Amino acid sequence: MEQYEYTTETLDNGLRLTWLDLPHTHSVSVHVCVRTGPAYEKPGNNGVSHLLEHLHMSVTRRHPTRRELRTAFAHLSANRNAQTHSDVLAFDFSTSPAFASGLMALVGDVLEIRDFPRDIVESEQRLVLAELRSMQDYEPRFFRCLFGKHPFGLHRAGTPRSLRRLDARELVDFGRASFAPDRIVVCVTGRLSSPILESARARLGTLEPSAGCRRLADPAPPHIKLPVFARHRLTGRQREIVLGWMYNSTMTRQHRVALAVLALGFSLLECPLSERLRYGDVNTYLFDCDLESVCGTRLFRLYGQTERHDRDRFIASVLDELSNIRKGRSLDWLPDTINFYRHFVEHCLDSPEALAARIALEEVRSRDQPALTVSQELDCLTELTSENVVDAVRASLTFDKFFLVYDGITRLADNTRVKSMVKASFAE
């Protein structure tokens, strides 16, 4: 798998440039990760990161209007997108190899530290406020219930109150601190050539930090006494449930890959849990399992939406399935899941966009241990067995790392019953 080892170099300004040549592809993708986000904010400026994501993709110094910037990307046949994670701002760009050198110049323009015209700021604020009004997402409630007043609990896009009260000086200072070159990872994948890489080094190497600006400090990890049983109140017939485990990022590669396999497996229709939740005692249409990482804190979580009377059965079904795994029972579906996950990783090698995002996020989030490369992940999957998944569950998905966030429960008897059910499952 050595052909899939990417190259990492640190430019003189501190920016990390990673690249991987994929000669079988017919495009070039650039994924940028800026180490900032709501996890670095405070309640008073919550939403500033997401607003900066909008602003940096709106205008640049060379393209002072949205139309000019849109035209510049269109001339290069380039696609672009952006996303705010809890601890990362991500920017995606892609085009054909013929236009890749020109795209590097535009990427540098987008990342430049700069002030924004007042009318641009105000119009993007209005757009974010409209975005907030349209959001129907469980994540803001989930993070708030789990992390409380810690920065990890802040809304990814802010709140109407915090956005309206955002001070212009705070926007400038936070932007200058966030987009310092040594906080940026840029990954370039696809059909690469020496001129493309040289243009990336030349343009990205000219990015300069803002003189005299403050440094953004990494947030301290949340001090949460686990296990956690938290609830939020919601009206309506449906009940939202998020249960999972919180642990730090320090673990073996094999355990990391094993938990990633398990998270994917729980989401597949071939998994007994999926069959049980959808067609057994519980009728759960919305169900998912994923892994989340925020500044070195990792979450393995399962989300479900059920009718009121199915809430306890949903929780019991998930815990029963995990109990079977811990005991090494009913594992016939795991070998196929390992192969499915391997196909999922290998599929990224056919997609420069997916691969660039995977590499950049892994690089920017690696703290206590080296980044996990695609080659290393594929090597782990070659050796991974069902027993390794069982070992990872026994080591990481334990009662002292457990959390449960649910809604619609107001009576003490209900809370006591749910806690007793969870404790009994881990005591088996």
| pLDDT value for 231 | 76
What is the predicted pLDDT for the residue at 73? 98
Edge to edge, the sheet with strand 7-10 lists 7-10, 16-21, 184-190, 28-34, 89-95, 79-84
Percentage of the residues of the chain whose pLDDT score is greater than 90: 59
| Residue 49 Cα distances to 3, 19, 282, angstroms | 36, 26, 40
pLDDT per residue over 295-352, tens digit each?
888 899 999 888 877 888 888 899 999 999 999 988 888 999 999 999 989 888 889 9
Across 5-14, 42-51, 144-153, 226-235, least confident range = 226-235
Kindly indicate the confidence band of residue 22, based on its pLDDT and cuts at 50, 70 and 90: very high
Q: Is 15 within 8 Å of 342 (Cβ atoms)?
A: no
CA max distance for the chain: 68
Tokens of 74: 């269109």
User: Which 3 state secondary structure label does DSSP give 37?
Assistant: coil
Tokens of 146: 């789990």
Look at residue 244 in the predicted model and tell me its pLDDT: 93
- Residue at 387: amino acid letter: E
Q: Are 293 and 286 in contact (CB under 8 A)?
A: no
Q: What's 190's DSSP letter?
A: E
Domain architecture of the chain: domains with CATH: 2-204 (3.30.830.10), 228-427 (3.30.830.10)
* Local structure of 50: helix, strand or coil: helix
This prediction has a pTM of 0.91
Please list, residue by residue across 396-417, b when 16 or more beta carbons sit within 10 angstroms of its beta carbon and e when fewer do. bbeeebbbbbbbbbeeeeeeee
pLDDT at residue 410 in the model: 47
CA distance to 13, 66, 74, 106, per residue, from 60 (Å): 20, 9, 15, 9
